[in-house]
Amino acid sequence: MTSTAATLPQRRHLAVLPVVVLLFLGLRLYFDFKADLVGDEAYYWMWGQHLDWSYFDHPPLHAWLLHLVAQLVGWSRFSVRLLTWASLLLVLWIFHLWSKRLAPADSATWFWRAAALYLASPLFFLFGSIAYNDHLLVALSLLAVHCFVTFVEQVESGRPLPLRWLYGAAVATGLATLTKYNGAFIGLGFAVAVLASPKLRPLLKSPHLWLAGLVAIAIQAPVIWWNARNGFPTVHYHLVDRWGGAAGHFSWAHPLNFILLCALLFSPFLLWPLLRMLRTKPAAGFEASAKLVAVSILATSTLCLLALSTELDAYFYWNIVAFIGILPLLVRFVDPVLRWLHILFGLLIAALFVCDLAVVPPGPLLGHEDHGSSINFGWDEIATHMRQAADAHAPDLFAGTRYSTTSQLGFALHITDAAKLSPEHSEYDFWQAHLPLTGKSALVLTDEPDGSAQIEWLKGHFTTLQQVDAFSITRYGVPLYSWRIFYGEGLTP
């Protein structure tokens, strides 16, 4: 009787946590089917329709996979975001493997707690839902962490050198970095773990450790090749262009902003469990190996980006790889109160996120402009206006005045050759460099007002330019965003 009573809270817990996970997954599904593509989602989708060795902003792996998705299932909001579910499945599969090692007596409870913590972290929910490169980066980074941890555990137990895990980790790290450059922090963090551990330092004498590093670097060959052929534009963009060409300068605001946003988006309710985990000696074996690798990656990524933020405004989401190995280890350190506060906080942020992009931005309903979210609404309506203007003017081209809106327009019209007409540098510059655009006519979608630098730029690049349509996107009777369509003839790129 006592045994049965003791298991009742556990049974209730196991019944509730899957419901929590389903709530988060339901919000994701609603977002997938209802939200128009965010600008960079459409931009990366267009990369997938223009296969290349690499791209202006990021490495190519995500774009290559999006190309495969387009060939297999076609164009739709859900197909653009389909890979986010593959990434989530990989993450949950690795959590399942870890649950058997970290809590063999009760692996189911551990797994559902880890899944709930992961989905409730705004950092992972937001960047795991939007089809940016980050969802794939997170999944491949966790796979690399898993391989590194298994390798370290076997080395520290005195077994023969487990080369398959070492080279598997190298391949996963290389693929993570081929997805987004901050995947390199996984490899750097493992190097720190080797240097920090007396049991691992002898590995520095093994050629396999260095060969594994070369494997991870060799996987970046497409990026190196593309940049070498094009004058290293990615390097120039990340070091100069994205900062406005201005030299860095020290400001306390930058590192403070970085730290606060990292803490808030990871979750303020996981900070105390994180501190407890760092201060507690782990159980021998898998947990000790996991802590060594995960903490080394956390420290390496965070400190490197914190140092960068003293000169430039480093973005908090660049540090996403720092937390993916740490989060599963927090399960045993999160008490019930903090767990539910974290889950409720995550549900609130997730619901606001989905509302903001799939229902209506709250700002305009309250009388405040929210261009960042409102610009992503109504792309089917925008496409209808463009087609009606095309029926009247028969243009040679459809165009936009930003890389993001040009991509959203192209996706809405289901075309891959929409032109970006502006001085803004982007991947479109490489696609359009060899196209015969001179003398063409174009319908240009813009949100710029008269007298703006962009409108003046357009006037200087067409022989004639006239406005042919103006309209607003509304929701619940509230205007969200205003657009204009211009018809230009005699384009001079």
Band of residue 8 on the pLDDT scale cut at 50, 70, 90: low
Strands of the 419-420 sheet, one edge to the other: 419-420, 397-400, 442-446, 478-489, 464-475
Residue among 48, 212, 195, 75 nearest 136 (CA): 48
The pLDDT, as a whole number, for residue 159 is: 86
Region 233-260: mean pLDDT is 76
Q: What is the pLDDT of residue 252?
A: 79
- pLDDT for 91 equals 98
Q: What is the pLDDT of residue 250?
A: 67
Secondary structure class of 103 (helix, strand, coil):
coil
What average pLDDT does the segment 43-50 reach? Answer: 97
Distance CA 466, CA 259 (A): 48
| Average pLDDT score over the chain | 93
**pLDDT tens digits, one per residue of 432-465:** 988 899 999 999 999 999 999 999 999 999 999 9
| E-only strand ranges, 379-426 | 397-400, 419-420
Residue type at 308 in one-letter notation: L
Give the pLDDT score at 85.
Answer: 98
For 84-137, what is each residue's pLDDT tens digit?
A: 999 999 999 999 999 999 999 999 999 999 999 999 999 999 999 999 999 999
Bridge partners for 420 per DSSP: 400
41 within 8 A of 59, measured Cβ to Cβ: no
Gap between the Cα atoms of 310 and 258, Å rounded:
10
| Three-point CA angle 145, 126, 92, nearest 5° | 40
Share of the chain above pLDDT 90, in %: 87
Question: Is the C-alpha dihedral spanning 38, 65, 63, 211 positive or negative?
Answer: positive
Burial 362-400 (b: 16+ CB within 10 A, else e): ebbeeeeebeebbbbbbbebbbebbeebeeebebebbbb
pLDDT at 251: 74
Is there a contact between 132 and 40 (Cβ–Cβ < 8 Å)? yes
What's the confidence (pLDDT) of residue 3?
39
Q: Is the pLDDT of residue 332 over 80?
A: yes
Average pLDDT over residues 286-300: 98
> Residue 295's pLDDT is what?
98
| Residues 6 or more apart in contact with residue 364 via CB below 8 angstroms | 370, 374, 475, 478, 479, 480
9 pLDDT more than 80 = no
State yes or no: pLDDT of 394 exceeds 50.
yes
Residue 11: is its pLDDT beyond 90?
Answer: no
Residues 457-480, mean pLDDT to the nearest whole number: 95
Point out the least confidently predicted range of 4-18, 158-172, 224-238: 4-18
Q: What residues contact residue 85 under an 8 Å CB cut-off, 6+ apart?
A: none
Nearest to 318 by CA among 172, 137, 169, 178: 137
Please state the domain extents for the chain: 16-358, 373-489
In DSSP notation, 287-303 reads HHHHHHHHHHHHHHHHH
CA distance 229 to 218: 17
Residue 6: which pLDDT band, with cuts at 50, 70 and 90? very low
In this model, does residue 4 exceed pLDDT 50? no
pLDDT above 70 as % of the chain? 96
Of 273, 63, 306, 56, the residue nearest 185 (C-alpha):
306
Contacts of 334 (CB under 8 A, 6+ apart): 113, 117, 269, 270, 273, 342
For residue 270, give the DSSP letter: G
d(CA 194, CA 210): 12
